[in-house]
Amino acid sequence: MRRWALGLVAVVAAFWAWRWFYPPTDAMAGSEALSKLGSADGQDSALANVGVGAAAVGGEGRLVAPAEASGPTVAPTASTVPEAALCAAIERREPASLASGYRRLLDSDGGARAAIRDALVRAAGDDLASMLAALGDGNAFLHSDAGREAGRRVAKLAAVDRTEAGAAAFTGLLERAMRGSIEIADTEAKAFVDEVYAAMQATLNRTVFNPENTAGARTHKVVRGESLDRIASIYRKQGILLDAMTIGLFNRISDPTKLRADQVLKIPVQPISTVIEKRSFLMAMYLGDTIFRLFWVGHGKDDRTPETTFTVTLKQEHPDWHFDGRVIPYGHPDNILGDYFVKFEHASFQGYGAHGTPQPETIGTMASRGCIRMQDNDIREFFTVVPRGTPVHVRATLNPGSR
């Protein structure tokens, strides 16, 4: 027993001697600090908009100094996290650290910038899934040249695969672009989104909009005298929410009067939904998990558009505007709704919807009374293809590291 106790004392003494002669390096200290995030629930996060590492993401947590440190604790910003610790977290593909890395590229210079850029390149790997994961969960990558170039590599690789897998990769890229801030002055970020969405069209035409690709769909043989409205009503009774020109879109039918007897139509059975991200001013339409339409929008002044889930209940062409107890008829100069209004219904929030605007410069800003503003061509398409009953999820996502 005495021999065992003497051995334990020797081990403890050797450990403290090692710590005395070999104190932690900056990188080790940084890793220790990162692991302590989230230990103080309920406090304001000093990292809410900068991000440090996935291990560091604790929602409301703060980064605190080691317990043995004296004096007040100081919550670091992304720029004070040791470079080596940040690079190590980036190479582990910790989402918040990836965002911080792209954000820090804007603030660093010389060797620090090169080290972070190299870490981001190593995190990306060579395969599509790894490259997509290395962008992080949000759109911080949009705001640097290196980040946009990494996104373009993903888009180029996704474009080679014109199958459902390619559509999924494009969707993943656009979803990341949606999550986080895009301001009206962020012209390069906006151009990137438009570029990727344009590149996605060839893949959508081979998959979602290909009448011969019936994966995840049914087929319907047109009976003489049937219309798209009639066919849509058949499937709505079965719980498949489609309107006439929703079917038209997925079958490349632009003129519903030219429907032919015995024509075989593709009937998508995956649910259609819409997501509006308020911080990026982007609205995406989904078929199942695949984005098939993307629009720039404006929304409520002073952030008054609620974050909730609405349902499309009514589509009005040439709408009158009911405002402050008045009815302003369609065509009147004071009627701001334009040619189309898509009503969003909610038990607690009334009077919301999507419409055009006589002020297209307000797209990408918070300027409306709460409705979603769209460009004239965009609201026309949205009005035409969005089925009644479609859920509309309004979000305001700002991931760590996003601006």
Mean pLDDT value across residues 82-102: 82
State the number of CA atoms in the 13 A half-sphere of 201 facing the CB: 7
Sign of the C-alpha dihedral computed for residues 305, 310, 316 and 322 taken in this order:
negative
Task: Supply the DSSP string of 290-322, one letter for each residue.
Answer: EEEEEEEEEEEGGG-S--SEEEEEEEEES--EE
Give dist(CA 78, CA 68) in Å, integer: 23
% of the chain residues with pLDDT over 70: 77
Distances (CA, A) of 141 to 109, 175, 402: 17, 12, 8
Split at pLDDT 50, 70, 90, the class of 223 is very high
Split at pLDDT 50, 70, 90, the class of 9 is very low
pTM: 0.77
- DSSP structural state of residue 52: -
Question: Residue 113 is encoded by which pair of tokens?
Answer: 């910038």
Helix ranges (H only) for 44-184 are: 83-91, 95-105, 110-124, 128-133, 145-160, 164-178
Statement: residue 64 has pLDDT above 60? no
User: Using an 8 Å Cβ cutoff, are 400 and 99 in contact?
Assistant: yes
Mean pLDDT value across residues 120-149: 88
Tens digits of residue pLDDT in 145-172 = 989 999 999 999 999 988 999 999 999 9
Tens digits of residue pLDDT in 254-293 = 998 889 999 999 999 999 999 999 999 999 999 999 999 9
User: Using an 8 Å Cβ cutoff, are 364 and 298 in contact?
Assistant: yes
Give dist(CA 211, CA 260) in Å, integer: 15
Mean pLDDT value across residues 356-360: 93
Split at pLDDT 50, 70, 90, the class of 400 is low
Closest C-alpha to 372, from 391, 401, 344, 400: 344
Instruction: Give the three-class secondary structure for 118.
Output: helix
Tens digits of residue pLDDT in 18-36 = 444 333 433 333 333 323 3
* Those residues with Cβ within 8 angstroms of residue 328's Cβ, 6 or more apart along the chain or in another chain: 320, 321, 322, 334, 335
Q: Give the residue with greater pLDDT, 84 vs 154.
A: 154
* Residues linked to residue 340 through DSSP beta bridges, in sequence order: 317
Statement: residue 11 has pLDDT above 50? no
Give dist(CA 303, CA 288) in Å, integer: 29
Split at pLDDT 50, 70, 90, the class of 380 is very high
Report the length, in residues, of the chain.
403
Residue 351 φ/ψ, nearest 5 degrees: 90, 10
Split at pLDDT 50, 70, 90, the class of 117 is confident
Mean pLDDT value across residues 68-74: 35
Mean pLDDT value across residues 186-192: 97
Give dist(CA 129, CA 137) in Å, integer: 13
Predicted local confidence at residue 27, as pLDDT: 35
Predicted local confidence at residue 71, as pLDDT: 38
Statement: residue 337 has pLDDT above 70? yes
Predicted local confidence at residue 46, as pLDDT: 26
Predicted local confidence at residue 69, as pLDDT: 34
Which residue's entry shows tokens 């489609």?
242
Tens digits of residue pLDDT in 242-256 = 999 999 999 999 998
Output the average pLDDT for the chain: 81
Distances (CA, A) of 238 to 227, 241, 316: 18, 8, 25
Statement: residue 47 has pLDDT above 70? no
Split at pLDDT 50, 70, 90, the class of 297 is very high
* Those residues with Cβ within 8 angstroms of residue 214's Cβ, 6 or more apart along the chain or in another chain: 266
